[in-house]
Amino acid sequence: MKKILIFASGKGTNFEAIVEYFKNKDIKIELLCNIDEAPVLKKAKILNIESHLVRFSQTYDFLKNNKYNLYVLAGYMRILPPGILKFGTFVNIHPSLLPDFKGINAIKRAFTSGVKQTGVSIHFVEEEVDSGEIIAQQKCIIEPNMTLNDLEEKIHEIEHNLYPRVIEGLL
């Protein structure tokens, strides 16, 4: 059985989409979260997914003592500490067409920049933020009458469909 560790520290919508996608497959999913009251922890409990509340400073030690086939970042709002990447393959999802709009608030920055399209990128994690080799991208057209909220919803829909399929391909 393959094991995935999902790193998340927010609402957990991508986490939930991944869990739902793999629920009838021979894959064990666990959650690593670094924030006490993160909504993703409640989602993990509801979905019966083992979760680990790991202080950011303890991430290295946790990974040294727990092995997984794939490490999946899904709204983990920290930059991984040096040396972590040696433990295996790490992937991340980013709400823009990288290399455009690296870092935080990518959807809002794309929306306010005047670009006609943005999208979603899934990439291997490297030490530099949002700089790893791109595994998959999907475009999203910014319609003239679209609000920021509309764009966010469309981006999240793309993420929830694309990320689990890419993860399955990597496994």
From residue 35, alpha-carbon distances to 54, 79, 167 in Å are 8, 14, 24
Q: Which of 52, 94, 123, 156 is catalytic?
A: 94
Contacts of 42 (CB under 8 A, 6+ apart): none
Order of strands, sheet of 27-33, starting from the edge strand that comes earlier in the sequence:
50-53, 27-33, 2-7, 70-73, 90-94, 117-124, 134-141
Where does 26-115 have alpha helices with state H? 39-46, 59-65, 106-113
> Is 156 one of the catalytic residues?
no
Where does 36-136 have alpha helices with state H? 39-46, 59-65, 106-113
CB 168 within 8 A of CB 136: no
CA dist 81 and 61 (Å) reads 11
Catalytic residue positions? Answer: 94
